[in-house]
Amino acid sequence: MVKLIKSTQELISARAQEKGSTGFVPTMGNLHAGHISLLERALADCDVVYFSIFVNPKQFGPTEDFKEYPRTLERDLELIKSCLNKYSGKSVIVFAPENPEEVFPSSDDQTIVVTNFNNIIEGKLRPNHFDGVATVVFKLFQIVKPHKAYFGLKDYQQYLVIRQMVKELAMPIEIIGMPIIRESNGLALSSRNQYLSENQKEEALILSRTLTKIAQTIAGKKANLLKAKKEIESILSDTRWNYLEIRDAYSLSEDLTNSSRITLVAVFQLGSTRLLDNMQQEIE
């Protein structure tokens, strides 16, 4: 069963009646196979899944057009229903408020700030973005009160922000990071891909191929990091790269002296479309 709810109060009432394990998948809609992979895992793990489709105004910067973000609710609901066919007896509650005040009442000026992560890498280029992400996820967690919540690792820094918030606020929620879903050619699935022409989609493969090449250079050895960083310096002569960095996978620190796991994080820009990707690797 798929039930659509547009009111916060109705959602709270529905949640109060649930007795089993509850999973939660927060999204901004315009769904693709990556989102559906989160839903499938949640359905496999939990008795009931809450799935939000909410375009969060707080995570859009002044140069980012909140009104232009694609809203595809009818199509999204069909994808959710198709997924549910594989899970007999399970149910999905879709929370899709039409008015942002359902989540952020006009009297509410509360902001969650996760200081460890919000002003570096992606946060440095998009001031206040992760504050907006953390704030909406906190609000949704307070409404849904899930046992488990599922996030795609394509937005790796966002995943760390949410995990840190839950830890610092002692919220009784297990945060589960799910692998990046890619097209057969390696391009990470993203709602942003729809803005690319066929030629740009081919050009965008430089992102995953570059990360793979750097990971191969490192090959799990700290001794190879200097060589990889010199390789990155050369790559960044192409100004379409917003950034391409090696960071500690847990702290996002640039100091890798004591790191046991690293992450390669990158954004490549094609026209007005920013494409994110990342790759993790154990290191010794």
Q: Return the exposure string of 203-229: e unless at least 16 CB atoms fall within 10 Å of the residue's CB, then b.
A: ebebbbebbeebbebbeeeeebbeebe
Sheet bearing 48-53, strands edge to edge = 2-5, 91-95, 48-53, 22-27, 148-152, 174-178
Per the residue annotation, which of 32, 35, 129, 147 is the catalytic one? Answer: 35
Dist CA 26 CA 85 (whole Å): 21
Rounded distance, CA 167 to CA 190, Å? 28
Counts for the chain of helices (H) and strands (E), in that order:
9, 9
Cβ-contact 219, 61 below 8 angstroms:
no
Q: Is 35 a catalytic residue?
A: yes
Please give the structure tokens belonging to residue 52. 């939000």
Q: How many CA atoms lie within 13 A of 73 on its CB side?
A: 12
| Integer Cα distance of 100 and 102 in angstroms | 5
Q: How many CB atoms lie within 10 A of CB 4?
A: 13
If 0-12 CB within 10 Å is exposed, 13-18 middle and 19+ buried, where does residue 238 land?
A: exposed
What's the token pair of residue 276?
Answer: 């994110």
Q: Are 112 and 58 in contact (CB under 8 A)?
A: no
Give the three-state DSSP class for 149: strand
What backbone torsions phi and psi does residue 201 show, to the nearest 5 degrees? -60, -40
Catalytic residues: 35
